[in-house]
């Protein structure tokens, strides 16, 4: 994409953390943003901030577990800005727990948001991108998409899946339609993600790791770097973690 000026980027999970910082980072390079998440007030506030000089952003309240809503999000982006250059599939949650705690509802949620939400996003933008024979899809995996630890079985399972899906997408689309696919795998980043942990043992168990967490702007810069590479270059995956993290 090389130059981000006026490139249209959809970001899911833009209401906090990595998604919010990515929106700010890309806007600072001239991109146009379509922001999605469930918390409207946060999206509205960020949109106002990004639009203070000129219209650069629009938002649409979207629950990524609804295929219909994600399709509507892509249509909205197309209507607002006339094209879709990139999608950052960033929405996610991480309610860690041991399997024997049987937190089945949380497993369902993680699978719905972290895996199905990513697939819905891909499906919604692919026709638009294939038509123009260009586009870039960036999916957020994790260091936990490379290694499993007790309590991360399901979360890691979803993030391993994101890596598999992204690699498959890259191989299927590259020659066919020039569409690029990139995996971003962060280590501990200081965001609201740990607030999705309901298990008390896991909450205290992750305190050490998150005491070394880096700020989300570092991941935003990484995403910008992947997007700014020229069309003939695909960054397959970047793993970014706190210097202290094993």
Distance of CA 181 to the CA centre of its chain: 12
Nearer to ligand NDP, 13 or 135 (CB): 13
| Nearest Cα residue to 96 out of 199, 188, 241 | 199
The answer to whether residue 59 is catalytic is no
Nearer to ligand NDP, 68 or 176 (CB): 68
Its sign, for the CA torsion 131, 136, 140, 142, is: positive
CB of 232 to ligand NDP, least distance (A): 28
The whole-angstrom separation of Cα 241 and Cα 83 is 33
CB of 111 to ligand NDP, least distance (A): 12
Nearer to ligand NDP, 98 or 240 (CB): 240
With beta carbons less than 8 A apart as the criterion, state whether 91 and 117 touch.
yes
The whole-angstrom separation of Cα 128 and Cα 136 is 11
From 59, 120, 155, 225, the catalytic residue: 155
CB of 66 to ligand NDP, least distance (A): 8
The whole-angstrom separation of Cα 80 and Cα 9 is 12
CB of 126 to ligand NDP, least distance (A): 19
Give the other-Cβ count within 10 Å of 54's Cβ.
7
Q: Which residues bind ligand NDP (CB under 6 A)?
A: 12-13, 15-19, 37-39, 42, 62-65, 90-94, 113, 140, 142, 186, 188-189, 191-193, 216
In residues, how long is the chain? Answer: 246
Nearer to ligand NDP, 210 or 228 (CB): 210
Which are the catalytic amino acids? 155
């Amino acid at each position: 994409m090389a130059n981000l000026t006026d490139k249209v980027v959809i970001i899911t999970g833009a209401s906090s953390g990595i998604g919010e910082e990515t929106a700010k980072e890309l806007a600072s390079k001239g991109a146009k943003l379509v922001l999605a998440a469930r918390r409207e007030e946060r999206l509205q506030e960020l949109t106002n901030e990004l639009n203070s000089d000129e219209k650069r952003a629009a938002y649409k309240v979207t629950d990524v577990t609804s295929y219909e809503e994600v399709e509507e999000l892509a249509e909205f982006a197309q209507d607002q800005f006339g094209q879709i250059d990139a999608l950052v599939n960033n929405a996610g949650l991480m309610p860690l727990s041991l399997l024997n705690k049987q937190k089945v509802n949380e497993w369902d949620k993680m699978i719905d948001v972290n895996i199905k939400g990513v697939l819905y996003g891909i499906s919604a933008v692919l026709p638009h991108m294939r038509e123009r024979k260009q586009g870039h899809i960036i999916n957020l995996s994790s260091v936990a998409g490379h290694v499993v630890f007790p309590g991360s079985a399901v979360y890691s399972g979803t993030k391993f899946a994101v890596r598999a899906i992204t690699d498959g997408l890259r191989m299927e689309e590259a020659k066919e339609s020039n569409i690029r696919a990139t995996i971003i795998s962060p280590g501990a980043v200081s965001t609201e993600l740990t607030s999705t942990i309901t298990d008390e043992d896991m909450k205290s168990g992750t305190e050490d790791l998150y005491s070394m967490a880096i700020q989300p702007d570092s991941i935003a810069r990484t995403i910008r770097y992947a997007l700014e590479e020229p069309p003939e270059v695909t960054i397959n995956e970047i793993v970014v973690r706190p210097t202290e993290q094993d």
